[in-house]
Structure 1
Amino acid sequence: MHAIAENFTLGSKEVQQTILVLNLSVAQIDLSITEGDNSVNALIDSFSYMSQHIEHIQELGKGLRQDISDEETSLKNALLTQAEVLAAKMQQAIIAFQFYDKLSQRLEHVSYGLSGLAEIVSHEMRVKSAEEWEAFKASVRKGTTMREEEELFELIFDQHIPSDEAIEIMKDRMRARMHQPVESEADEFELF
């Protein structure tokens, strides 16, 4: 069985099929990102509109006369409380949009990596060049802009940990980070 592995090489037809699959994957990722961006942009516009109106409601509520009956004071306080609850929910939605932004960035990086891989594999001289592979690997590493991407890269490429194990390690790390104070996570977001 070991001898079979040594003699295994891809023929030109297999390489062409591999390139087609890589290009299809890139196209699917790019289309998914575009669709997601369109949907999220519509949601962002809606939430921005609602947020402005919530702020206006809060201003109007605070501007109501102070010399009102107990019943009117109770209604005023209920209005302000509901506006505060809505404002908090809006903040949660913005955080969800930030997570989508991270997902979108990751998918763009995957698309870039797959495109580069297809480019190298499609040229016989490049696919056999150790320098080409090292340059490609360095390019992929340079494109890791998020902490989790860099750590995953290190686990797989530098420490040679199998991908399924690396994924579990990263899931554990990410779960642990979720329990860290919110301020440290908020600093990591770069959105809008």
Structure 2
Amino acid sequence: MNQVSEEAQPPQHSSADWSHVKETINMLCLAVCQIEATMVDSNQSVDTLTHSFTKLASHTGDICTQIQKLSKPEELEIFKSDFAETAREMNTNIGASIQAFQFYDRVCQRLDHVTRSLEKVSELMQHDEQIANPEQWRSLQERIKSSYTMEAERIMFEYIMRGGTIEEALKIYNHHFEKETEQALDADNDEIELF
């Protein structure tokens, strides 16, 4: 277990402290955490896409301008060199755009998790015989936890279920998400071929 999660352990609640109201609050806090984390990630992806597409448009304009200025054969070599550098920069921006689109897919998956989780909580709360049953809540929470594909989501889930604060859960999530992202980017860089 890493240092962040060891230092920031929320208090454990005994079974005598259990109530469906606390469980509902925990589930709502979890939804808030997931939505907040997703919004931050989606804003970063949109910023990356905006920057990449702006740079691509600028590069395309520069190439067109250079082509228009070509009038002598000796200028062709200079153009080739400039074009090669521009193509490398365009390739970098295209790679960043692809990664941003991959993050967008992850954002959609996470929002879907929030929706499904809230639907399951709502279903449980509609039945008087289930709402006050701790086993029903544990079963629901296990189903929700098992639907997560990212370790950062599972860690955030466990922290909130133990009664941790939204702010601390988001800090822990961001720490783990950044580590997972770095590992995924390293793996993607080894596998993606653009041309």
TM bin (shorter chain):
0.5 to 0.7
Instruction: Say whether 1:137 aligns with 2:141.
Output: yes
Contact 2:20-2:134 at 8 Å conserved across structures: no
1:162 corresponds in structure 2 to 165
1:76 aligns with 2:80: yes
Compute the displacement of 1:70 (Å). 3.3
Within 2, Cα distance between the matches of 1:181 and 1:138? 26
The answer as to whether partners of 2:151 and 2:176 remain within 8 angstroms in 1 is no
| TM-score in terms of structure 1 length | 0.55
Tell me how far apart the structure 1 counterparts of residues 97 and 142 of structure 2 sit (CA, whole Å). Answer: 36
The corresponding residue for 1:94 is 98
RMSD between aligned alpha carbons?
A: 4.0
Please state how far the C-alpha of 1:154 moved relative to its aligned partner: 2.1
Q: 100-109 or 160-169: which moved more?
A: 160-169
Residues 181 and 139 of structure 1: is their aligned pair in 2 closer, same or farther, counting only changes over 3 Å? Answer: closer
Within 5 Å, give how 1:105-120 maps onto structure 2. 105-120=109-124
Alignment match of 2:174 (pick from 167, 171, 176): 171
RCO higher in 1 or 2 (8 Å CA, sep ≥ 6)? 2
Q: Match for 1:147: what amino acid?
A: E
Say whether the 8 Å CA contact 2:20–2:132 is kept in structure 1: no
SS in 2 for 1:145: coil
Q: Distance in 1 between matches of 2:149 and 2:174?
A: 18
Task: Please report how far the alpha carbon of residue 136 of structure 1 lies from its aligned counterpart in structure 2 after TM superposition.
Answer: 0.5
Structure 2 letter corresponding to 1:101: D
Contact in 1 for aligned 2:153/2:173 (Cα 8 Å): no
Q: Which runs of 5 or more residues in structure 2 are unaligned? A: 1-16, 22-27, 36-41, 64-71, 191-195
Q: What residue is the counterpart of 1:123 in the other structure?
A: 127
Instruction: Indicate the SS of the match to 2:164.
Output: coil
Segment of structure 1 superposing worse, 140-149 or 164-173: 164-173
Deviations 1:103-144 (A, max 9, x none): 111111011100000000011111122221121011101111
- Provide the rounded CA distance (Å) in 1 between the counterparts of 2:112 and 2:128: 26
Cα deviation, residue 88, structure 1: 1.3
Give TM-score scaled by structure 2 length: 0.54
Gapped runs of 5+ residues in structure 1?
1-5, 11-21, 30-35, 58-67, 188-192
Alignment pair present for 1:153 and 2:161:
no
Structure 1 residue 173 displacement after superposition: 3.8
